[in-house]
C-alpha cells in the first residue's frame, strides 16, 4: 500500500537540506522507493519562500508538499529574533499553502511544534488543549506563525476542499543535529570539548529540572510519512515519544555514554523555558499507527557515535 501511495507522486520538500529534511529524503528514497527525479528539494539559494513568485514556482506540477522549512534555533535565538521568526515563518507558510491551493496540490503537510502548546496546557499535551492559553513567551512568535498554518489549513479545507494536515513535532535528536541549537547536541559538544581540554566540568543552562519529550529523528520521519499516507483530517496530531525525561537525567545519561566523570554545573541565571513537555501520542497511533520505536539510549548512542566521527 505504501509503495502504491508514493508511486509516481511529484513531491516538494521544503527545508530538505536541514536536519529533519535530510533524514526524511533518505527515507523517501530508500524505504518508500520514491524516484529521485520525483523529488523537488530546493535550497534557499534557489528559492526564497518569502517571495510569492518563488512559492508559485516551487509548487508547479507537484502532487504533494511537505513543508519542513523554518527559521528557528535555540531559546537564545528565539529571544533575540522574535520579529524575524514570526514574519519569516508566517509568510513562508501562508504563501506556500496559497500557491499550493492555486496549483491544485493534492496534499499539503505542514510541520508544527510542541511549542505551540500553551505554557500552562493540561498535561500531558493533548491536541484538544492547543488553544487553552498563551505559549511560552520566548517561543510565542514562532509558535503562532506555525499555528496559523493549522488555521489556514482548516479554512481551506472548509471552503476549497483543500487537503492540508498539521503535525506537532516534539524535540528531535539524532545524527547530524544542527550545531548545538538543541539541548542534546549542545551537551554532546560540551562534553567532547571538556574531554579534549581535560576539564573536569561542563556548564549547562538553567536548573536541569525541566522535562522534555525527546524523539529520535528517524521515528519523527516515519510519523510524518505515515500521516502523509493515511491522515486526511483538519485536526492537528502530536508526533512524539510519549515519554518524559528531565534535562538533568538526560545530561547524566550522555555523560555516562561518553565516559565523562566530571561535574555538571547548572547556571540557574539562564532560563529554563517551559517547565514540562510531554505529548499524548494516542491520536497518532489511532489515526495512522504511529508509535516511536527508538529508546532514548539507543538513539543517543547513534547520535554520539556520529558526532564523534
Here the contacts of 29-32 (C-beta below 8 Å, separation 24 or greater) are: 32/2, 32/3, 32/6, 32/225
Those residues whose C-beta lies under 8 Å from the C-beta of residue 143, and which sit 6 or more positions away, are: 113, 115, 116, 135, 136
Burial of 161 (0-12, 13-18, 19+ CB in 10 A): exposed
Q: Could you tell me whether strands 171-173 and 201-205 are parallel, antiparallel, or unpaired per DSSP bridges?
A: unpaired
From residue 287, how far is each of 177, 241, 291 by CA, in Å? 29, 16, 11
Question: Of 135, 157, 19, 16, which is closest to residue 86 (Cα–Cα)?
Answer: 135
**Separation between Cα atoms, residue 86 and residue 146, nearest integer Å:** 9
**The three cell numbers locating residue 119:** 505554557
**100 touches 76 (CB < 8 A):** no
In whole angstroms, what is the distance from residue 181 CA to residue 141 CA? Answer: 18
Can you read off the three cell numbers belonging to residue 14? 521544503
Known catalytic membership, residue 87: no
Q: Which is catalytic among the residues 87, 117, 134, 142? A: 142
CA atoms 83, 174, 12, 9: torsion sign: negative
Residues with a known catalytic role:
142
Amino acid at each position: 500500500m505504501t509503495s502504491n501511495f508514493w508511486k509516481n507522486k511529484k513531491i516538494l520538500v521544503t527545508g530538505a537540506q536541514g536536519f529533519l529534511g535530510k533524514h526524511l529524503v533518505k527515507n523517501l528514497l530508500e524505504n518508500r522507493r520514491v524516484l529521485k527525479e520525483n523529488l523537488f528539494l530546493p535550497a534557499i539559494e534557489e528559492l526564497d519562500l518569502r517571495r510569492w513568485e518563488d512559492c508559485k514556482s516551487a509548487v508547479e506540477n507537484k502532487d504533494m508538499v511537505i513543508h519542513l522549512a523554518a527559521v528557528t534555533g535555540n531559546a537564545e535565538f528565539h529571544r533575540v529574533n522574535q520579529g524575524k521568526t514570526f514574519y519569516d515563518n508566517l509568510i513562508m507558510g501562508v504563501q506556500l499553502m496559497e500557491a499550493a491551493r492555486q496549483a491544485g496540490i493534492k496534499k499539503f503537510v505542514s510541520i508544527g511544534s510542541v511549542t505551540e502548546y500553551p505554557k500552562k496546557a493540561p498535561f500531558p499535551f493533548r491536541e484538544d488543549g492547543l488553544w487553552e492559553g498563551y505559549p511560552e513567551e520566548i517561543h510565542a512568535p514562532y509558535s503562532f506563525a506555525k499555528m496559523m498554518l493549522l488555521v489556514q489549513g482548516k479554512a481551506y479545507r472548509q471552503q476549497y476542499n483543500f487537503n492540508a494536515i498539521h503535525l506537532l513535532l516534539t524535540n528531535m535528536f539524532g545524527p547530524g543535529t544542527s550545531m548545538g541549537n538543541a539541548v542534546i547536541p549542545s551537551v554532546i559538544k560540551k562534553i567532547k570539548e571538556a574531554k579534549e581540554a581535560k576539564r573536569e566540568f561542563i556548564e549547562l543552562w538553567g536548573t536541569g529540572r525541566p522535562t522534555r519529550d525527546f524523539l529520535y529523528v528517524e521515528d519523527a520521519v516515519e510519523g510524518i510519512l505515515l500521516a502523509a499516507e493515511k491522515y486526511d483530517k483538519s485536526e492537528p496530531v502530536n508526533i512524539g515519544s510519549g515519554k518524559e525525561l528531565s534535562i538533568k537525567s538526560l545530561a547524566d545519561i550522555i555523560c555516562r555514554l561518553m565516559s565523562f566523570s566530571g561535574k555538571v554545573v547548572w547556571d540557574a541565571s539562564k532560563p529554563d523555558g517551559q517547565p514540562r513537555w510531554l505529548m499524548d501520542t494516542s491520536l497518532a497511533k489511532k489515526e495512522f499507527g504511529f508509535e516511536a520505536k527508538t529508546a532514548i539510549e539507543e538513539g543517543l548512542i547513534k547520535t554520539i557515535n556520529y558526532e564523534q566521527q
